[in-house]
Structure 1
């Protein structure tokens, strides 16, 4: 590992692979280091959507434009977004899509109808148009690398994303037969980026974990790496290092130190341990967006593991569909259950100033037999009641089993049913937004896609809590992906992108793919900036 190259990229998610692809395509020599024995990181097990608010891809809907994109993002800022980063993201998005399609076999298309997450905000798109998917990618073309892309193991319930969720995400099926290994979503995106990189002669180096930066006269000249043999070696870069190692969601000390409230667990693979954050701090970086994350409500099932750690699953459809509500420890509803998963977690983090407690931290999804029979759990129909469900033939009995005050859960369910019959949730406005019905029951129309009575025994409850898709805080970057130091100037030789950098989205989550879109854009922009500067020494 002693060879010196122009650019060193750390991590193989969407940010890292895009950065490496752009650097290699620009004629620079590149090395890509991955701590795991698989490539892809969080991207590989994600929905793989790419939110680009000003792309030029044709679709059935009003054309996108720069002004609406900026208006929408600024409406979500609350003072936490860097205007320079937002404008760089919006303006460079179309260029990045063109670049990827030119240098890989990936082809993007619009997830028709998928609304922005706050579609009624100024500049928002209730009818969708900004979230992109990639066509199914042939893993056959990856050769031996087809087995080196991170994937979930088989489990008691749907592996990764179930078929119905894939339809909701707008995924297109492969036109080829089942004998062809065509993969979609995050795996397909990673596969396509990886194939483009391999075609340029760059192979990621697996089991190679970057530990610290190498500083020479105040410049980041490389990193210290634990190589596959377990030895500590230095890997040097003439032009710069791009950190794309993901977030810090699996480092409990960092989570406790920085995030705004309690966390049950992360949906991301247990590889995101803050390596990039620690290296950036070592180099003297300013930090940005550290208090926030890509939030989601999560559940955990018995004996469900991933890479030797407890697995947490994001809850989308269950809480949105008719016949299901969420209640807190007092047995009361506390949120619009059908809102976007990022905003939802704000309700879990509400701190009662009188009791100095999080009243919604202990919570359950509550549903009836009709809901369970129609929709199953986590995307799969299940014949027998899971033993870890809490159940009772009556709402009163279920409330007693959950330990909530006598009669409160039954009253909450009665109140819900009254609102369903009236056709409007006046308590939390569930169903008012175009997003609320997106994950609902597609066989119904209008607000009935998400509103439905809870009145058929038995009644069930499943614990649910605040979790993460990943963190979004890290070193502050400029529009070129350069890490900004404590003195307000770029740290020479150091760049960051994706969840290893402070998010250009601030505390917002603009739409499906708003994690991956900026990750690819700033990975690309970092590589372009490096291609325009002379090598050190």
Structure 2
């Protein structure tokens, strides 16, 4: 039920209130509702989904019910050993063990009791595949595609994907679709797949503002929203948490919410679960915890202001320490759209790791392995910049690389370049010297870097940064490349192209310290009664390390399961015999009238 705040009675009572309707928050609300709790889900923006809606929706859960279908030899013990090597003392081992134990339970429970469905990605390596205990498949789950038409007018509540990741005015495509679209002139199977996609999208655009075939993160959010509405969870949009109310024991017993100038005090019997997305857009904490990272480089959704953290810290919560980084990172390119908004494009895997690509600093020199994980890439940019100007860095290719792999927002094929050249997003030159001059970088350094990468392409061995030496790196190369290393190819066919790269924070790694049930703990290491955290509001169990795909959504789902169920159980013992109107929290007929304003 999507309501307005004015439709709730003053001091309306709920068993569980979840702050933040991203993937973790929606999951926590759903788990609590499955256990019979009366749940209120509060979102500060006009959309549900948070940054999850922008993402691939990949969820890292070792030893799930789906894993054996693609990797029967994996186990939770293997994953635990892998995380011990990858993360070590940067996070609490007991919390990691809780994650590994409860993760498969969370997947099984949500699939058995809702419309959320996953499958194992057939081939999706752990990012630190060189470490013992890593796998090439089985731990990365992806949501099944979802038909957004099932939501009716509530489809408009889902945060749309990043436009630059869609085609034809809002048609979502996943990695399988991209392969078929690129091969539709070469394969009958791909042609059939592409025709089916295009026909569906054409029909959608007759009745909907964008495509309703949802994949990746949008599919996960669509399935969560459908499940929440089916269970009649109360949802408030554009609503801000103003204060937390504590009782004599110091535990959280309620809150004040504000929407369009209206305020309501809400009573909570089981718990408040913070899932507001992290601190990334908190102006003060961003300056101190992410120094030098311009907010305009952040590709995340706008709701993660950290304002809920201020309230939690004020009643005794604390931030975790010891993480490799306070945030997770990816190299991004930035472009001003025609409507005045800013497009921030994460370079996850489609270009920088392919043959015929290299990245240089302002001296024209390579300074990292282009095929490393996006998180380590972002960290390496910042570390290098402390010695030599490396922000922005420059992703360089030639005519063949651009045509085959694209370059950031420029799609493969090499056509339609004029707008990107006109606004400066893409730089083109007939020679490397000319390209260096246009970019303002050292020409001799660039020439040397290209000469070295061309030699490495011939031998297959990157003597500078060992590019293409791990299973993960090679998986992100070009499987059809004829050279000795799928990640290394020559650069030499004019014209030459480049885009500027910046380190963009894609999520918080540092968050509120919580225990194995998701309960926020205070400075005395004791739980603060009635206060929970999950998702990026909780200190990462990965300790700021990014060992595999979906290591934010996996723990997000797991601790949503633990927190949601614990808060629901806590409410069962405290539930009073309230009158039906007070229990539902609805103020009579106003609900139906005000609901139309939101929808």
Q: TM-score range by the shorter chain?
A: over 0.9
- Please tell me whether the aligned partners of residues 271 and 567 of structure 2 are also in contact (alpha carbons under 8 angstroms): yes
- CA 1:195–1:270 in 2, change beyond 3 Å: closer, same or farther? same
Q: Aligned partners of 2:261, 2:180: CA distance in 1, in Å?
A: 43
Deviations 1:350-399 (A, max 9, x none): 167xxx65532231101111111222233623414321122221112222
Q: Aligned partners of 1:103, 1:203: CA distance in 2, in Å?
A: 18
Which secondary structure state, in structure 2, belongs to the residue aligned with residue 350 of structure 1? helix
- Please tell me whether the aligned partners of residues 304 and 311 of structure 1 are also in contact (alpha carbons under 8 angstroms): no
Determine whether 1:17 maps to 2:49. no
From 247, 270, 282, the counterpart of 1:216? 247
The CA deviation at 1:261 is 5.6
Determine whether 1:535 maps to 2:560. no
- Please tell me whether the aligned partners of residues 271 and 532 of structure 2 are also in contact (alpha carbons under 8 angstroms): yes
Q: Single out whichever of 65-74 and 310-319 deviates more from structure 2.
A: 310-319
From 387, 406, 422, the counterpart of 2:459? 422
The CA deviation at 1:279 is 2.2
Counterpart of 2:318 in structure 1 is: 286
- CA 1:446–1:242 in 2, change beyond 3 Å: closer, same or farther? farther
TM-score, normalised to structure 1, is 0.92
Deviations 1:283-303 (A, max 9, x none): 211211574212100000132
- CA 1:165–1:253 in 2, change beyond 3 Å: closer, same or farther? farther
- Which structure is higher in helix share? 2
The CA deviation at 1:96 is 0.6
The CA deviation at 1:214 is 1.7
Matches of residues 126-275 of structure 1 in structure 2 within 5 Å? 127-152=136-161, 154=163, 163=173, 165-167=175-177, 178=200, 179=203, 181-217=212-248, 218-227=250-259, 229-259=260-290, 262-263=293-294, 265-275=297-307
Counterpart of 1:46 in structure 2 is: 55
Counterpart of 1:362 in structure 2 is: 392
Structure 1 gaps of 5+ residues are none
- Please tell me whether the aligned partners of residues 459 and 484 of structure 2 are also in contact (alpha carbons under 8 angstroms): no
Which secondary structure state, in structure 1, belongs to the residue aligned with residue 90 of structure 2? coil
Determine whether 1:457 maps to 2:494. yes
Q: Aligned partners of 1:446, 1:96: CA distance in 2, in Å?
A: 44
Q: Single out whichever of 133-142 and 14-23 deviates more from structure 2.
A: 133-142
Deviations 1:450-495 (A, max 9, x none): 2110001111221101111111221101010000111211111100
Counterpart of 1:496 in structure 2 is: 533
Q: Aligned partners of 1:453, 1:520: CA distance in 2, in Å?
A: 43
Structure 2 gaps of 5+ residues are 1-7, 182-189, 205-211, 577-599
Deviations 1:109-164 (A, max 9, x none): 11111101111212101x22110012111222222211211103646985789746
- Please tell me whether the aligned partners of residues 114 and 169 of structure 1 are also in contact (alpha carbons under 8 angstroms): no
Root-mean-square deviation over aligned CA pairs: 2.7
- Please tell me whether the aligned partners of residues 210 and 226 of structure 1 are also in contact (alpha carbons under 8 angstroms): yes
Q: Aligned partners of 2:319, 2:164: CA distance in 1, in Å?
A: 38
- CA 1:131–1:447 in 2, change beyond 3 Å: closer, same or farther? farther
From 377, 386, 391, the counterpart of 2:407? 377
Determine whether 1:77 maps to 2:108. no
The CA deviation at 1:413 is 0.7
Q: Aligned partners of 2:30, 2:236: CA distance in 1, in Å?
A: 15
Q: Of the two, which has the highest radius of gyration?
A: 2
- Please tell me whether the aligned partners of residues 319 and 365 of structure 1 are also in contact (alpha carbons under 8 angstroms): yes
From 270, 274, 299, the counterpart of 2:333? 299
Q: Aligned partners of 1:98, 1:492: CA distance in 2, in Å?
A: 28
Determine whether 1:35 maps to 2:44. yes
